[in-house]
Amino acid sequence: EDKVVQSPLSLVVHEGDTVTLNCSYEVTNFRSLLWYKQEKKAPTFLFMLTSSGIEKKSGRLSSILDKKELFSILNITATQTGDSAVYLCAVIIQGAQKLVFGQGTRLTINP
Amino acid sequence: DVKVTQSSRYLVKRTGEKVFLECVQDMDHENMFWYRQDPGLGLRLIYFSYDVKMKEKGDIPEGYSVSREKKERFSLILESASTNQTSMYLCASCRVGSEAFFGQGTRLTVV
């Protein structure tokens, strides 16, 4: 069974802290890994990672994939209250064209 | 901009009713998905479709069916709604191997 596991499930930090969110996967036929941010409504796309070791960056957010150890991390530096959200990790399964999600990490940034 | 539109934001239905949730995308995407999202469980895949009239079961298809008669429209059907189907339902679409775009979600309450 294809599985995506995120940790921690919940995280509370102070504004200005740096956080690292984890996503590990165990799937039949890996194609790519995606990160999404979900506030009150629909998840919005952050990154797609297909190759190992290549960091993707957008402002204070960055992410990297390790295909040997089957995990990815999402880093957020100098956190702000607007970063409070649920962060979702998903894996695209090659062939089956399926998209499998983890449970999400609920991140709360306190002022 | 890609637009994925779900027909209702909020629905309240009675136990035993047949319920239709509609999803329309305007970007000619091949793949469409229905998920339900419950606290602590993340997004769980109910059904997906990779072409017109094609459908595949996800992880939790029991009690649901789907219909894809046109490429842009993917419907989720609850044959006989039950209280344990109270949830947030999210529709998504994507090109093969690319990031998925989500609708705003339908919060369904079955009483």
What would the pLDDT profile of A72-106 be if each residue is shown by its tens digit? 999 999 999 999 999 999 999 988 788 999 999 99
Q: If 0-12 CB within 10 Å is exposed, 13-18 middle and 19+ buried, where does residue B46 land?
A: buried
CB within 8 Å of chain A, chain B residues 59-88? none
End-to-end Cα, chain A, rounded Å: 41
pLDDT of residue A46: 97
B17: amino acid identity, one letter? E
Q: Report chain A's mean pLDDT, rounded to a whole number.
A: 94
pLDDT of residue A97: 80
pLDDT of residue B2: 67
Nearest to residue A59, comparing CAs of A37, A89, A40, A33? Answer: A37
Nearest C-alpha in B relative to A33: B99
Closest Cβ opposite residue B100 in set A9, A31, A99: A99
pLDDT of residue A6: 96
pLDDT of residue B90: 97
* Residues of chain B below pLDDT 70: 2
pLDDT of residue A40: 82
CB within 8 Å: B41 and A97: no
pLDDT of residue A13: 97
Nearest C-alpha in A relative to B91: A42
**B103, HSE (Cβ side, Cα atoms, 13 Å):** 31
pLDDT of residue A92: 93
What is the C-alpha to C-alpha distance for residues A110 and A12, in angstroms, rounded to an integer?
Answer: 7
Question: Would you place residue A49 in the very low, low, confident or very high pLDDT band (cuts 50, 70, 90)?
Answer: very high
A42–chain B nearest CA distance, Å:
5
Asked if residue A43 has a cis previous peptide bond (ω within 30° of 0), the answer is no
Closest Cβ opposite residue B104 in set A41, A92, A96: A41
Q: Is B20 on the interface with A (CB under 8 A)?
A: no
b/e map A55-88, b = 16+ CB within 10 Å: ebeeeebebbbeeeeebbbbebeebeeebbbbbb
pLDDT of residue A94: 86
Structure tokens at A87: 């962060």
Nearest to residue B104, comparing CAs of B16, B12, B23? Answer: B23
B16–chain A nearest CA distance, Å:
28
